Amino acid sequence: MRRFRPHLTYANVVSTMCLFILLGGTAWAAVTVTGKDVRNESLTGRDIKNGSVKGRDIANGDVTTSDIRKGTINSSDVGFGSLNTGDINDGSLLLRDFREGEIPSGLKGDTGATGATGATGAKGDVGPTQAFAERTGPPAPTATPEFSITQTNITTATAGRLFVQGRSQFSVGCQATGAHNGQTLHVALYVDDVLVDASVQQARSSSNNDESLFGVSGSVSPGVHTIAMKVDCLDSTANGRSGNFNDRLGAILVGT
């Protein structure tokens, strides 16, 4: 130190102090820059680091709609209850902007006028109805029975077969001729003078008979049809009848 002390001058001291003040002053200025030190509108978005500006850095009311790019704000950016009707333009909300149940149901409207009658649809297929009857008794009577015990007319709307039923209490006398000596007769149901299969029943001549018959006819067309209960004296002809009361006849139209 003694070697350098004779060379220490006032100029050396002042220049060293200026160096330290200069360096120290620069560091102090770097950390004390405020808004007053920045000229208005001299900073742009490129001068600000993404995410460095927070809500507390912006004064209330400073940001308006013109400062926000369209489509950059969604529902997560808006606080619950922070918007009211004055913040929303009329007609700007759609149904998809509401959760289910948020919109109350309106009042029920008046009943509308009855619409015009539609055209008649195509006719459907006949349903799968069926009927069966089987005869295990005596053979079928002749094709020309002597007379009808009882008969009636029916009308069918469509084609099909008829399930026919009949009952009668009667007494018929047959002439005492032929192999059966006038003692046996047959009673059966007919539709339009055609025998109804399986409806034939054997009865006794000159006796009080109470017969209940049923059977299924062949196919019939739409329209009026005659159903009847008729008798046939075997090997002879009828010579009289009596009774003929409590008669019942009926038919049900079934599928073809």
- Number of domains, the chain: 1
DSSP conformation class of 237 = -
Confidence of residue 175 (pLDDT cuts 50, 70, 90): confident
User: Is 160 contained in some domain?
Assistant: yes
User: Is 240 contained in some domain?
Assistant: yes
Beta strands in the chain (DSSP E): 147-156, 160-174, 184-191, 194-195, 201-204, 209-220, 223-233, 238-254
Confidence of residue 192 (pLDDT cuts 50, 70, 90): very high
* CA 166 to mean position of chain CA atoms: 46
Name which of 5-14, 87-96, 151-160, 167-176 the model is least confident about. 5-14
pLDDT single digits (tens) 78-97 = 777 677 777 777 777 777 77
Query: Which residue blocks in 31-131 are alpha helix, DSSP H?
Result: none
The residue-averaged pLDDT of 156-182 equals 81
| Domain boundaries, position 161 | 147-254
Answer whether residue 65 shows pLDDT above 90.
no
What is d(CA 126, CA 115) in angstroms, rounded to the nearest whole number?
A: 30
User: Is 79 contained in some domain?
Assistant: no
* Residue scoring higher pLDDT (21 or 206): 206
* Residue scoring higher pLDDT (8 or 206): 206
pLDDT single digits (tens) 115-162 = 999 999 998 876 667 777 777 766 666 667 888 888 999 999 989 999
**Threshold 0.85, pTM exceeds:** no
User: Is 232 contained in some domain?
Assistant: yes
User: Is 117 contained in some domain?
Assistant: no
Q: State the residue for tokens 């089987």.
A: 134
* CA 151 to mean position of chain CA atoms: 49
What is d(CA 163, CA 168) in angstroms, rounded to the nearest whole number?
A: 17
CATH code for the domain in which residue 186 is found? 2.60.120
Would you state the structure tokens that stand for residue 80, as one six-digit string?
């619950």
- pLDDT given at position 249: 93
Per-residue CA distances from 111 to 115, 116, 117 (Å):
12, 15, 17
**What is the bridge-based pairing of β-strands 194-195 and 209-220?**
unpaired
Answer whether residue 16 shows pLDDT above 60.
no
Answer whether residue 15 shows pLDDT above 90.
no
Listed residue (230, 159, 158) closest to 199, CA to CA: 230
Average pLDDT, the chain: 77
User: Is 129 contained in some domain?
Assistant: no
* CA 23 to mean position of chain CA atoms: 88
* Residue scoring higher pLDDT (94 or 16): 94
How far apart, in Å, do the first and last CA atoms of the chain sit?
A: 140
- pLDDT given at position 132: 78
User: Is 165 contained in some domain?
Assistant: yes
Answer whether residue 74 shows pLDDT above 90.
no
- pLDDT given at position 116: 93
Listed residue (213, 215, 152) closest to 187, CA to CA: 213
Which are the contacts of 45, defined by CB distance < 8 A and separation ≥ 6?
A: none
DSSP conformation class of 205 = T
User: Is 101 contained in some domain?
Assistant: no
- pLDDT given at position 92: 76
Q: Which residues pair with 153 in a beta bridge?
A: 226
pLDDT single digits (tens) 215-254 = 999 999 999 999 999 988 877 777 776 766 678 999 999 8
